């Protein structure tokens, strides 16, 4: 079965970067230390920040834009710990346990697979819903030119260890022109490893790739390349019992557009205290909130939130501003299709539905 996952009401997703440091240097790394800092969040700061976003007594969105999202009942809050490489932060086990104590709805750690600081021994599968491993190819010849020499072996070894210890495991594949040809081999690899949850992302021109002088046309996928491969391969993975989530990316002109900045509660939090509501703006100081002295504060205009209000025929405003080359026009100058919000997903479900409760909704990195 294939379905579009609408933005979920009464759900808050917090993407907490607990450091920006990493042992790898992936080609498409979206971390931008100039904008996100180089700090490492310690245990005390993580506890305070988790408490801010856990506040479940009210369904209101937090801070700036609070008037744009209002739920009459309490929200379930999901946390995704990210980096850099989050397992490099020795406070990660404490962070996971604290999130569990605070009643977060689901807890996920995104990792490059190196699993530093004995993370598998420091937490239990009951404390963590998912370890999500980034793997950009079904074999070293595809993955390692993107993520680094020896990374395929390290990552698949980490996956095997985590599965053997009973952890929930998912895999994230970032699709670009460097590896789209190999996507069809991923379901087979996941089947052999025993992974039943698969996220496909589209490469984002952010962080390391955002330098305007760089030509990224050799990486970015066009609409035809995306639509001819991804839904078909997702369905074939679903037939093998794998639950696949992938971004919608393009909308037909008759499909409804909505901006998650207005209708959903997603918070992208960096160790320097910046809090964005939209991941596309993360290379710019346009964050609508910031954490200062342990409190979440609104920032004055102009921030990303003023852009969320704009309605344009091309769909996502930030895509139009930052990546105008993604949009095609007909002879009259009208867009041929619209670009969906990067948070809008489709799912291909195995018969019988999802294998395990997970509410993750990651950005599609357009």
Chain residues that interact with ligand SF4, rule: CB under 6 A: 22, 24-26, 29, 31, 83-85, 112, 134, 259-261, 278, 280, 308, 316-319, 341-343
Q: If DSSP codes are grouped into helix, strand and coil, which group holds residue 366? A: coil
The least distance separating ligand SF4 from the CB of residue 56, rounded to whole angstroms, comes to 23
The least distance separating ligand SF4 from the CB of residue 308, rounded to whole angstroms, comes to 5
In the Cβ-directed half-sphere of 112, how many Cα atoms lie within 13 Å?
Answer: 23
The least distance separating ligand SF4 from the CB of residue 355, rounded to whole angstroms, comes to 26
The least distance separating ligand SF4 from the CB of residue 47, rounded to whole angstroms, comes to 23
Residue number with CB closer to ligand SF4 (261 or 349):
261
The least distance separating ligand SF4 from the CB of residue 134, rounded to whole angstroms, comes to 6
The least distance separating ligand SF4 from the CB of residue 146, rounded to whole angstroms, comes to 9
Number of H helices, E strands in the chain: 11, 15
Residue number with CB closer to ligand SF4 (247 or 349):
247
Torsion of CA 266, 269, 273, 275, to 10 degrees: -30
Contact partners, residue 43, CB within 8 Å, separation at least 6: 91, 94, 95
Omega before 84 within 30 of 0, i.e. cis: yes
Q: Do 96 and 16 contact (CB within 8 A), yes or no?
A: no
Residue number with CB closer to ligand SF4 (238 or 326):
326
Residue number with CB closer to ligand SF4 (104 or 114):
114
Sign of the Cα torsion 49, 52, 56, 57 reads: positive
Residue number with CB closer to ligand SF4 (24 or 163):
24
Residue number with CB closer to ligand SF4 (31 or 180):
31
Residue number with CB closer to ligand SF4 (14 or 316):
316
Query: DSSP strand E in the chain: where?
Result: 2-5, 11-17, 76-82, 106-111, 130-134, 169-175, 197-202, 243-247, 250-251, 265-269, 274-276, 289-292, 295-298, 338-339, 345-348
Would you mind telling me the total number of residues written for the chain in this entry?
Answer: 366
- Cα separation, 317 vs 314, in Å, equals 7
Residue number with CB closer to ligand SF4 (238 or 327):
327
Structure tokens at 96: 């996971």
What element of type H or E holds 329? none
The least distance separating ligand SF4 from the CB of residue 364, rounded to whole angstroms, comes to 8
The least distance separating ligand SF4 from the CB of residue 280, rounded to whole angstroms, comes to 5
What letter would DSSP give residue 94? H
């Amino acid at each position: 079965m294939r379905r579009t996952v609408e933005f979920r009401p009464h759900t808050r997703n917090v993407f907490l970067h607990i450091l920006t440091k990493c042992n790898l240097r992936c080609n498409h790394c979206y971390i931008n230390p100039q904008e996100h800092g180089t700090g490492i969040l310690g245990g005390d700061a993580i506890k305070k920040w988790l408490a801010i976003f856990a506040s479940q007594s009210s369904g209101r969105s937090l801070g700036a834009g609070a008037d744009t999202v209002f739920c009459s009942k309490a929200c379930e809050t999901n946390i995704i710990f990210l980096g850099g490489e989050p397992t490099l932060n020795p406070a990660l086990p404490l962070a996971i346990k604290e999130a569990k104590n605070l009643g977060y709805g689901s807890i996920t750690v995104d990792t490059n697979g190196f699993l530093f600081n004995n993370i598998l021994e420091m937490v239990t599968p009951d404390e963590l819903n998912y370890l999500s491993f980034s793997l950009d190819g079904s074999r070293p010849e595809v993955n390692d030119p993107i993520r680094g020499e020896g990374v395929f072996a390290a990552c698949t070894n980490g996956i095997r260890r985590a599965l053997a210890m009973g952890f929930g495991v998912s895999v994230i594949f970032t699709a670009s022109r460097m590896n789209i040809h190999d996507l069809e081999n991923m379901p087979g690899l996941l089947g052999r490893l025993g992974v039943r949850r698969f996220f496909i992302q589209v490469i984002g021109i952010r962080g390391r790739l955002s330098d305007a002088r760089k030509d990224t046309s050799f990486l970015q996928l066009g609409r035809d390349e995306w639509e001819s491969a991804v839904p078909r391969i997702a369905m074939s993975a679903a037939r093998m019992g794998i639950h696949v989530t992938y971004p919608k990316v393009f909308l037909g002109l008759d499909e409804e557009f909505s901006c998650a900045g207005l209708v959903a509660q997603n918070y992208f939090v960096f160790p320097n205290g910046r809090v964005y509501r939209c991941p596309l703006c993360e290379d710019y100081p346009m964050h609508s909130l910031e954490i200062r002295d342990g409190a979440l504060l609104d920032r004055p205009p102009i921030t990303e939130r003023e852009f969320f209000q704009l309605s344009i025929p091309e769909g996502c405003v930030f895509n139009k501003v930052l990546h105008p080359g993604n949009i095609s026009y007909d002879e009259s100058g009208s867009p041929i299709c619209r670009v969906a919000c990067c948070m809008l997903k489709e799912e291909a479900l195995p018969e019988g539905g999802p294998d395990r409760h997970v509410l993750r909704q990651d950005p599609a990195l357009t």
